[in-house]
Amino acid sequence: MRTLIQKIHIEEDKSFACRTYRTPDFETNWHKHEECELILITEGHGTALIGDYVGNYAAGDIFFLGSELPHWFRKSHHKITGSAVVVHFKKDFWGDAFLQLPEMKQIKGLLNGKNNGLWIKPSLRKTIAPLIKEMEHSAGLNRLYALMICLQAISKPSSAEVLTADFSFSSSTRENSAIEKIFDYSLKHYLKQITLQEVADIAGMSIPTFCRFFKKNIKKSYFDFLKELRIGHACKLLQTTTEPVMDVCYNSGYNSWAHFSKQFKQVKGTTPSRYRKQYGQ
């Protein structure tokens, strides 16, 4: 059985960890840890599973993850190299008295707020990506100062997109193993037809038990989860290819344009064509 809880090693002469994780160390399945996480993706692309959020990630993306928030950055193909600079820190490592200072109000709000999964917007990434890289090799107060600058910037309104808020997760090792199996199967087969009976069998449950189990742990139905995987794939095709929109529909696991168009608008709030005009390269 794989454990859900990941232990983060922090060196004795440092108050928080910052290191590069590159394949094979980048590959960590669905997990959580006590530490908050600031992660800069430096190589690879795939699917980000963060709390109840499902979406794409690519090199250059930066995410802030709150304490105890389960997540998994799953590469789109096992042969791709995954790499990221990852900062791990306990939200109270500064000491409670320091967090009470008026100057720390915004950072304290970020660490204790309900928005525990954030995607950093491109305008801010240009500023903090060099600071995250610097933290890995700097020492003393320079290291601490770089983290403070990053968190202060992230805590400002409109600096990040909220991916998940107030997400809580508690599960036994057995339940966590079932979630990993469901995710793994779904990520391999979501472009094909998947039935509830298939995933219920993977989890070793009846269909009603599986539906309750998934909704309880992931905070959404399995078919909503599957919808977000497929629409995420469609977004990637719309951004990075010139495939006709109708082809994107069929290459994203849909057999009906009407169904695809409806679900795309539900997830992204716009039509596929407008999305391509806004985000396409």
The per-residue pLDDT for range 117-172, each reduced to its tens digit, is 999 999 999 999 999 999 999 988 999 999 999 999 999 988 999 999 888 776 66
Q: H helices of 140-195, where?
A: 140-154, 173-189
User: Using the 8-state DSSP alphabet, how is residue 205 labeled?
Assistant: S
**Alpha-carbon span 176 to 80, nearest angstrom:** 26
Specify whether the CB–CB gap between 42 and 3 falls below 8 A: no
Name 175's Cβ contacts closer than 8 Å, sequence gap at least 6.
213, 217
**Alpha-carbon span 41 to 62, nearest angstrom:** 6
Query: Does the pLDDT at position 239 exceed 60?
Result: yes
Specify whether the CB–CB gap between 255 and 230 falls below 8 A: no
pLDDT at 13: 83
- Single-letter amino acid, residue 11: E
User: Using the 8-state DSSP alphabet, how is residue 31 labeled?
Assistant: B
**Alpha-carbon span 86 to 230, nearest angstrom:** 28
For the chain, what are the domain ranges?
17-164, 173-274
Average pLDDT of every residue of the chain: 92
User: Using the 8-state DSSP alphabet, how is residue 158 labeled?
Assistant: T
**Alpha-carbon span 31 to 29, nearest angstrom:** 6
- Single-letter amino acid, residue 274: R
CATH number of 173-274: 1.10.10.60
Q: pLDDT for 83-101, tens place per residue?
A: 999 999 999 999 889 999 9
Q: Which pLDDT band, with edges at 50, 70 and 90, does 2 fall under?
A: very low
Distance of CA 223 to the CA centre of its chain: 19
**Alpha-carbon span 227 to 3, nearest angstrom:** 28
Query: Does the pLDDT at position 199 exceed 60?
Result: yes
What does R_g of the chain's alpha carbons equal in angstroms? Answer: 20
Residue 36 burial class via C-beta count within 10 angstroms: exposed 0-12, middle 13-18, buried 19 and up:
buried
pLDDT at 281: 62
**Alpha-carbon span 171 to 177, nearest angstrom:** 10
Specify whether the CB–CB gap between 219 and 52 falls below 8 A: yes
pLDDT at 1: 33
**Alpha-carbon span 9 to 30, nearest angstrom:** 18
173-189 helix and 222-240 helix, angle to the nearest 10 degrees: 40
SS3 178: helix
Model confidence, pTM? 0.86
36-40, 106-110, 176-180, 223-227: lowest mean pLDDT where? 176-180
Q: Which pLDDT band, with edges at 50, 70 and 90, does 260 fall under?
A: very high
pLDDT at 171: 65
Distance of CA 80 to the CA centre of its chain: 18
Specify whether the CB–CB gap between 71 and 43 falls below 8 A: no
Q: What tokens appear for 143 in the block?
A: 């290291």
Long-range CB pairs of 107-114 (<8 Å, 24+ gap) are 107/148, 107/151, 107/152, 107/155, 109/155, 110/64, 110/151, 110/154, 110/155, 111/36, 111/66, 111/67, 111/151, 114/165, 114/166
CATH superfamily label, 17-164:
Regulatory protein AraC (2.60.120.280)
Query: Does the pLDDT at position 253 exceed 70?
Result: yes
- Dihedral (CA of 8, 13, 17, 22) sign: negative
